[in-house]
Amino acid sequence: MATTADTSSLHPADPHEGSAAAAPAQSTRQPKQPVNKLGVAAVVVTVVLWASAFVGIRAVGPSFSPGSLTLGRLAIAAVVLGAVVLPKLRMLPRGREWWPILAYGVMWFGGYNVALNAAEHLLDAGTSALLINVNPILIAVMAGLILKEGFPRWLIIGSLVAFGGVAVIALGSGQRSTADVAGVLLCLLAAALAAVSVIVQKPVLRKFPAGQATWFGIMVGLVCCLPFGGQLVTELLAAPLPATLGLVYLGIFPTAIAFTTWAYALSLIDAGKLAATTYLVPGTTVLISWLVLSENPTVWGLVGGAICLVGVGLTRRGSR
């Protein structure tokens, strides 16, 4: 009962579509303002924390291999998010409700993270950012075809402009073309897995709150990554304290918190439009690297970040 109430409160206007004119006028005026503010706040938190993940992965990368890094993040996230979710959990998914959860748990929390971590061992940051940002375009296309969100003109134009900004950031990364074929394929695989996962997760959020939907997926990914357990223990014993603390940070903030705020935003916003906001991640990563690692951003990075902002702004044209 609690789950149903939580979900229905996110979509107050749906049951009244097609009814008398007085009903929509009443329902669209008041609920929309707080929902939009909460959605924007969730998007901002997600973008900043996912951007910080690229810095964190680069910092702990020498101490942890791709599989053990993924398992460590998921284990920490499962404990932290579980402490919040479990006391409020009233019912588990049943029957066919498990299929989409298993799908995005395996593809996103398991496969995507391992593939991306492995790709970053083979490619420079700029090339990785460029390839992984094929993801929002894939999401926009699949959302239009599968979720029937259509293909708004400004969403397509803005996405292309923002992708151009990511390309400019990649050009200024300072490490030209270390494009190992295996690394490119791993990055494209990660982008495809994430895109399909977003489309699969969207309907789940009509039945379960964001925190629960995220925790279910994390647990599925965690089980998939258990074969890396021995490797994780070995690397934890050898890792310096800063690397271990970095792993804890990655588990709590970019995983437990950011994936939950993403799911919450996805329950409020069309998948295609929400995915376009992730074009802000590379530019935000440049700023965080500047502040945390004292890596001075290049002119290319600043210009590319500005272009990404313009592109994401264009995707919002025509929508209130």
Burial of 95 (0-12, 13-18, 19+ CB in 10 A): exposed
Q: What is the pLDDT of residue 22?
A: 45
- The pLDDT assigned to 13 comes to 44
Neighbours of 96 (CB within 10 A): 7
**Sign of the torsion angle spanned by Cα atoms 66, 67, 68, 71:** positive
Q: Report the pLDDT value the prediction gives residue 294, as an integer from 0 to 100.
A: 67
Q: What is the 3-state secondary structure (H, E, C) of 84-130?
A: HHHHHCCCCCCHHHHHHHHHHHHHHHHHHHHHHHHHCCCCCHHHHHH
Which residues, 6 or more positions from 292, have their beta carbon under 8 angstroms from its beta carbon?
Answer: 55
Q: Determine contact, residues 258/211, Cβ cutoff 8 Å.
A: no
Q: Which residues of 205-219 are buried (b: 16+ CB within 10 A; e: fewer)?
A: beebbbbbbbbbbbb
**Quick check: is 183 in a domain?**
yes
- Contacts of 19 by beta carbon, 8 Å cutoff, 6+ apart: none
Is residue 6 domain-resident? no
The parent domain of residue 260 ranges over 38-87+95-315
Residue 125 lies in a domain: yes
Tens-place pLDDT, residues 144-161: 878 877 777 777 777 788
In this prediction, residue 34 carries a pLDDT of: 44
Q: Is residue 306 part of a domain?
A: yes
* 22 inside domain: no
DSSP codes, 193-234 = HHHHHHHHHHHHTTTS-HHHHHHHHHHHHHHHTGGGHHHHHH
Question: Quick one: which H or E segment has residue 155?
Answer: helix 153-171
Within a domain: 147: yes
Nearest to 57, CA basis, from 226, 219, 293: 293
Q: What is the pLDDT of residues 157-170, one digit of tens each?
A: 777 887 777 777 66
Q: Is residue 78 part of a domain?
A: yes
Which portions of the chain are predicted below pLDDT 70?
Answer: 1-36, 124-130, 169-180, 293-298, 301, 305, 315-320
Total of domains in the chain: 1
> Is 288 inside a domain boundary?
yes
The closest of 319, 254, 310, 312 to 279, measured between CA atoms, is: 312
Residue 118 tokens read as 């492995």
CB under 8 Å to 276, separation ≥6 — which residues?
A: 136, 140, 155, 158, 159, 162, 311, 312, 315
